[in-house]
Amino acid sequence: MPIQRRIGTAAPLGACVLLAGCSGWQSALDPQGPQARDLSTTFWTFTAALGLVWVLTMLALALALWRARGARDAPLESTPRPQGRAIIVTAAASGATVAILFALAGLSFAMQRRVTDAPPAGLSVAVTGYQWWWHIAYEGPEPAVGLVTANELHLPAGVPVRIRLASADVIHSLWVPNLFGKQDLIPGIDNAVELVASRPSVLRGQCAEFCGLQHAHMALTVVVQSKAEFDAWAAAQRQPAQPPADDKRRAGQAVFAARSCPVCHSVRGTDAAGAVGPDLTHVASRRRIASGLLPMTRSALASWIADPHAHKPGVHMPATPLEPHDAEALLDYLEGLT
């Protein structure tokens, strides 16, 4: 294939690959709320204005080079008329530059005020960053009070939400690009973001501040639901775990209790009250485990429990080698935590 044809084939393909990253469930260019829409508008206005400046500059450069083509007898000798015109052009360009800079600075300032000036929150959620997962506690109003979960943030569509941010160890940063900009979680400092998610969708957030070995595997699933669906979800999540329904699950709960699991994990309604790792009361209702790294499937759970370090080197959870029948019973128990 001739090189031109190869480039002709590869260029649109490359453009598709690049643009594919600009939409979807983790993209600031696919805004799903007023705050993200303001940020997106700011981004595109800056891109358009600065792109136009670049194009005009390149055209002026091309024009200057074209007009200066050919050798002159005395290239360094100045002539009064072109010099006078150059002063006018330079002054006009400087004036335009200052005007554009002030306009963009004004836009940036106005958008920042709009983004941080959210309506009064109808729901408050405390999100705490741990190496490397997210602790989520709903603070009110009813029926969300007392609801604790991990790594999967549910939000009611159209309801202003205040997300309070804290860290249990190092600095993290919460970023759900479809909803808002990055906001740091800093040990000892109260931080917050206020936002509205416009419509039901499933989005992906990501820790955006390097926080150690598994920073890249500190993802957050964000599920935006209708108010009725959110209320139903919250009511179910607020319940303690259902007692195991059969012998195998009871055996699984005994395995869970006998191993080191309850030292770190809580299962509300049982004696397991660890506060170091994610709350597991309704773990099987979540879409993913290991802070977004693995799907919530039996095989992924089995593999994660047997050797979490194979998936997430440096993770604080120890490997838990189990006899096959104990492992199966434990998996039955965990899958029953819906």
- Judged by CB under 6 A, the stretch of 17-25, 117-125, 202-210, 277-285 that binds ligand CUA is 202-210
Q: Please pick, from the candidates 33, 129, 278, 308, the single residue that binds ligand CUA as defined by CB under 6 A.
A: 129
Rounded to whole angstroms, the Cα distance separating 132 from 172 reads 9
Q: In whole angstroms, how close is the CB of 6 to ligand CUA at the nearest point? A: 40
Residue 256 lies near ligand CUA (rule: CB under 6 A): no
| Centroid of chain to Cα 305 | 26
Q: Please pick, from the candidates 38, 194, 209, 279, the single residue that binds ligand CUA as defined by CB under 6 A.
A: 209
Rounded to whole angstroms, the Cα distance separating 124 from 268 reads 22
Residue 180 lies near ligand CUA (rule: CB under 6 A): no
Q: In whole angstroms, how close is the CB of 210 to ligand CUA at the nearest point? A: 6
Q: Please pick, from the candidates 127, 132, 224, 253, the single residue that binds ligand CUA as defined by CB under 6 A.
A: 132
Residue 211 lies near ligand CUA (rule: CB under 6 A): yes
Judged by beta carbon, residue 214 or residue 225, the one nearer ligand CUA is 214
- b vs e for 233-249, b when ≥16 Cβ sit within 10 Å of the residue's Cβ? bbeebbeebeebeeebb
Task: With CA atoms as reference, report the closest residue to 288 among 305, 301, 277.
Answer: 301
Judged by beta carbon, residue 207 or residue 330, the one nearer ligand CUA is 207
DSSP per-residue letters across 218-247: -EEEEEEE-HHHHHHHHHHHHSPPPPP-SH
Give Dmax over CA atoms of the chain in angstroms. 101
Rounded to whole angstroms, the Cα distance separating 280 from 133 reads 13
Q: Which tokens belong to 163?
A: 């997300």
Q: Which residue has the tokens 């492992």?
A: 327
Positive or negative torsion for Cα 8, 16, 294, 284:
negative
Residue 207 lies near ligand CUA (rule: CB under 6 A): yes
Question: Number of residues in contact with ligand CUA, rule: CB under 6 A?
Answer: 9
Q: Please pick, from the candidates 135, 154, 172, 288, the single residue that binds ligand CUA as defined by CB under 6 A.
A: 172
Q: In whole angstroms, how close is the CB of 218 to ligand CUA at the nearest point? A: 4
Residue 219 lies near ligand CUA (rule: CB under 6 A): no
Judged by beta carbon, residue 28 or residue 218, the one nearer ligand CUA is 218
Rounded to whole angstroms, the Cα distance separating 169 from 191 reads 15
For ligand CUA, what does the binding mask look like between residues 2 and 41, x meaning CB under 6 A?
----------------------------------------
Q: Please pick, from the candidates 44, 54, 102, 210, the single residue that binds ligand CUA as defined by CB under 6 A.
A: 210
Residue 215 lies near ligand CUA (rule: CB under 6 A): yes
Rounded to whole angstroms, the Cα distance separating 249 from 57 reads 71
Please tell me what DSSP assigns to residue 25.
T
Sheet holding 219-225, edge to edge: 152-156, 219-225, 201-207, 172-175, 183-185
For ligand CUA, what does the binding mask look like between residues 298 and 337, x meaning CB under 6 A?
----------------------------------------
List of residues contacting ligand CUA (CB under 6 A): 129, 132, 172, 207, 209-211, 215, 218
